[in-house]
Chains A and B, each alone.
Chain A
């Protein structure tokens, strides 16, 4: 019984960390640019496919393949930032609709290009670990370690580097940042590069742990938005707390009840948080954001 309980906790924590890995890039873009980047799920999917071909089929070194995949996906992300979001002046509503359309377009193009057959990225970390009767595959453990490293790395970049300071300045007040000589375009492009690179890592591990297919970005994207809203828009600590909470809720609910119940409980939590604390655990209020924009 205790082994099963331990397994549920371990599964919940690993699920949560995997959600966080997908949500990090989205949180950053959402926080800095105040745009709902629906294309983020498709970035995860494109990264997974590029890893499948570069590493899985052409047998390029894993790290090199990851770098190339991140570069490719970042290029796509910057393309959207420059030619889709910027012309719309990063207006939240317009960008949300455009991004949704772009997301469907990318998914449809992927069906045509890659076909419907699910693929699988070969694992880099074969084998299992045992913790007091609970089991964890080494690939899941690696995903968790890398997620923690990425989160810590992102935090350090944002708080200890000049570029990070510029990003935080734009996040707080883009006009004031511009007056101080910070290039908003440059910062926005950099945010997209970082966000898409994080999506590339998330896509790689999603492809190793699960399956690579054109629909793979949709479900994680829904979870990401839940995490961002529960944790707070633009808040990395909030995303961590919300991600872990959601992972544990999903693990307990799915194990004890069903997948549908996990969905219901997760959304119930989201609705509760939005009613009781609209800005989430640590973030901005959405209505404040839109009011600030209109001013």
Chain B
């Protein structure tokens, strides 16, 4: 009997050693997610949540180790309602719960938080614009996980090369944080590429009738109208109004649901519109896998924010593993060195030439076009080098 018991105990020890099994439950690394889960922009927030959740599921299928201990990633969701005050209140709740890492959506909500997260030494990941109000040497723990106004540095040179007939551009953006930073970036890019921004219209977010702004722009006859960070539905209504008042030029659209742009603007109005940074038809095995997962679980269409929020979660965990620490400052330093094979291609943290610190996730941009009422794949734009960016940012 004694021999049997010793034999069993040995087998158990051997099993543990071989499999590395720990009999204690894995610890949780909590990432606070300050997303827009209700209100007008909830479509984006919910798609972002789905992407982050799926990433966490994949990560947690094996878990990860920090300082020899097994961890799983836990996402705790807070609804910012697209209101800075709610976002701030959520941040305070997170701090009270001891959460040290935050993933937040939209610059309007994120920019007001960054001073506080910086003071509290909290790692802040943001999907939003905000330029250097969010990412700068002043905020070493703040990162932008999806290029926003930075896409102009990739898209505008591509446009200049692919569509050399575009000489004049009209920019339309909403009158908010994102709109102002976006318009500034795009106007500067256009100027430094030899294109002329002949109209820089700012409209009130939530406007319904775009005939007045469309009339003004059409009268100037730009070769292209760039909708910048205009809200999706506003892009469609504005595009429709532009066509109705006689505008014949090109559109540059940044709509997370390109099919909805066609539906709302109308097939004829949408024809030929260039879709910036949008996966229209999955091209790579990874894109196809994620596309099929989303459609199977949630139905179509796939909102592009789902893809945008997926890989940053992996990069965050890779940084934790690389730092082998839970300290946000060490994770931030490790994050700057992570290179990840994302759904878009290679993703890394860069933009030091623009912000003075590596703080913005950089990756290739898929471009689409609307043909016969259908969003289709057009091209993939590589992320520009620091030299190209430096040329485009000069005043």
Contacts and interface: CB of A to CB of B under 8 A. Distances in A.
A18 to B, nearest CB: 8
A103 B309 CA distance: 34
A267 interface: no
Interface stretch (A81-89, A195-203, A252-260): A252-260
B263 A215 contact: no
Contacts of B202: 258
Nearest to B213: A254
A115 B215 CA distance: 32
B233 A211 contact: yes
Nearest to A120: B264
B233 A213 contact: yes
Contacts of A105: none
Given A15-B211, A255-B212, A118 B42 contact: no
Interface stretch (B33-41, B64-72, B379-387): B33-41
A101 interface: no
Contacts of B209: 11, 15, 18, 209-210, 250
Contact of B215 (A11, A111, A215, A262): A11
Interface string B196-209: 00000111101111
Identify the interface centre among B203, B207, B208, B219: most chain A CB within 10 Å of its CB: B208
Contacts, number: 87
A168 B234 CA distance: 42
A259 B204 contact: yes
A254 B214 CA distance: 10
A120 B263 CA distance: 7
Nearest to B211: A11
B43 interface: yes
Given A211-B237, A254-B213, A128 B244 contact: yes
Nearest to B207: A259
Contact of A118 (B201, B207, B213, B264): B264
B245 interface: yes
A258 B40 contact: no
B30 to A, nearest CB: 27
Interface in B190-241: 201-204, 206-209, 211-213, 215-216, 219, 232-233, 236-237
Q: Report the contact-size class of chain A (Cβ under 8 Å from the partner).
A: 35 or more
A135 B246 contact: yes
A174 interface: no
A213 B43 contact: no
Identify the interface centre among A8, A116, A137, A258: most chain B CB within 10 Å of its CB: A116
B260 interface: yes
A258 B208 CA distance: 14
B212 A8 contact: yes
B244 A137 contact: yes
A263 B219 CA distance: 23
Contacts of B266: 123
B182 to A, nearest CB: 16
A244 to B, nearest CB: 15
6 cross-chain pairs, A with B, having the tightest CB-CB distances, nearest first = A254-B212, A259-B204, A116-B42, A118-B233, A255-B212, A210-B208
Given A18-B209, A120-B264, A253-B212, 18 more contacts: A8-B212, A11-B209, A15-B209, A15-B211, A117-B257, A136-B244, A211-B264, A213-B233, A250-B209, A250-B212, A255-B212, A255-B215, A258-B201, A258-B203, A259-B175, A259-B203, A260-B175, A262-B212
